[in-house]
Structure 1
Amino acid sequence: MPTQWTVRAIMRAMLPVLLVLTVVEIGSGLVLGSFESTLLRYPTLLALVPVTIGTAGNLGSILAARLSTAFHLGTLSFGREDDVLGGNAVATVALAVTIFPLVGVGAWTLTWLVGGTELGLPTVVLVSLMSGIALAFIAVFVTLVATYAAYRFELDPDDVVIPVVTNACDVLGVIVLFVVVRIVV
């Protein structure tokens, strides 16, 4: 881990990450564009997209911050028996199980208020919950891999992990949401 922070060190660490993540975000936009007809057919899904990917990114960011803190404190070992790692991963999935049904209810209610409820409440909640659980597992996996990679490359996980996790959740969130829609709707 660098002992001193300079503009050069920050640029060297972050520029490659940000360039790769920019390309990833362009991919997310292309994937989202390919589902335009589905979004126009079901406006509730249009309301669900940003909240789903944002909430998944937030869950991953919370986990990333907690793991980064544990890393800096020296309490993170990346082993199977690591209670910090396991407990935080389980908490992330539990938060997803708790919050994503509320996300579904919120998206449905918002769409209902503006007169566009073409999908029933149970369907929207199921889509949101299934997407959220899948994204929670993805966020946990990406966070663990990114934190470990930061450790191995001697980068500060505070700088690297949260951008990686939020961008991965953006791209994979769109894909997961529409896979679930194809299964459920």
Structure 2
Amino acid sequence: MYRSGVGESQFEQVLRFELPKIKEACVKFRKGYEPKIIFSVVVKRHHMRIFPVNPQNKSEADKNGNCLVGTVVDKKITHPTLNDFYLQSHYANQGTARPSRYIILHDDIKLPIDRFQTLSNTLCYNFQPTTSCISIPTPLKYAHLACARAKTYLIFTSGTTRLLKVHENLKNYPMYFV
């Protein structure tokens, strides 16, 4: 599972409250269903930049001098106690590319870190609206889009939230989109 919008000070809270709720939902979904879970936080808003050792060498850098797509940094600049890495999964048309930071908070599967890094990079290539890779795994991008869409159906007034009313005639059109 990929999660975003979590700061380092919230990691313990996420593990204590969200992870048990996810496992509880799995059991409610189907009795006895207890999948193994890798819970990873993906951070885009950080100040870390990675650069190739030799930007003129085409086997190390793209035409803008950024690291090649798929570059992973998991030593020296990572956190001393957290299981984290930086993945440069997308190409920057202009300027300096910014890698995404992945922090693995929980791992039931015990997947080797190289396989998880490969999985994370591969998932950045599945986003349908584009033919290129994106900076975060596709399931996370779709979750962001679903949340943005849900906000369009909510009305916030005087401290309360309610759903937007849709005209009765639209019940006859199942393919109605906002």
In the superposition, the TM-score normalised over structure 2's length comes to 0.26
Higher strand share: 2
- Give the structure with higher Rg (CA): 2
Task: State the structure with bigger RCO (CA 8 A, min sep 6), 1 or 2.
Answer: 1
Report which of the two has the higher share of helix: 1
TM-score by length of 1: 0.25
